[in-house]
Amino acid sequence: MDTDYSKYLGFLMGVAFRGLKKKADQALAPFDLTAPQWGVLARLYEEDGLAVGEIAGRIQTEVPTITRIVDLLEGKGFVSKKHSMKDRRSVQVFLTQKGMTIETVLRDEITKVIEIALKGFETHEVDRLKRDLARITKNLMADKPEKQDEVSPD
């Protein structure tokens, strides 16, 4: 059995993710933002007024985590929260003027990070990588763990 874990796909994907996140955090630091905060803003740039739960679903992150990020973004003046008119239990998130006006600058910064990460890749390789990562994500999302109704004693 090969015990060089640095060759394993999961390990390599984790290292790549952490490297990408670190570079994104560095690029966003001058704007008092982090990569996870950018992720929320990016979803709102696609569709403003999303519910916290919808943002969580699109990012594949737990609702409490997104709630904390939204609270931080609100405190920094990038977003505002409003209770949904359809369901008062649901909170919708909207970009503020500050959040809207910084979009282009943030996209440019993130584009630079992606260009660093993909240096030397041909267009068809990038397209293939995107397809493969989307396929891995779809597979993982479809594989729901079985519920255990009873906990067996040890």
State the pLDDT at residue 70. Answer: 98
The pTM score is 0.84
Q: Is residue 116 predicted with pLDDT exceeding 80?
A: yes
State the pLDDT at residue 83. Answer: 86
State the pLDDT at residue 2. Answer: 64
For 10-138, give the CATH class.
Answer: mainly alpha
**Over residues 20-48, mean pLDDT:** 98
State the pLDDT at residue 143. Answer: 80
Q: What angle do CA 131, 135, 139 make, to 5 degrees?
A: 175
CA distance 27 to 104: 14
Tokens 């403003």 correspond to what residue? 48
State the pLDDT at residue 41. Answer: 98
pLDDT in tens, 12-22: 999 999 999 99
- Residues 60-80: b if buried by 16+ CB within 10 A, e if exposed: eeeeeebbebbebbeeeebbe
SS3 107: helix
Give the residue from 117, 148, 127 showing the smallest Cα distance to 13. Answer: 117
CA distance 151 to 38: 40
Q: Where are the domains of the chain?
A: 10-138
Q: Is 53 exposed, middle or buried (0-12, 13-18, 19+ CB in 10 A)?
A: middle
E strands, the chain, where? 50-51, 79-83, 91-95
pLDDT in tens, 46-70: 999 999 999 999 999 999 999 999 9
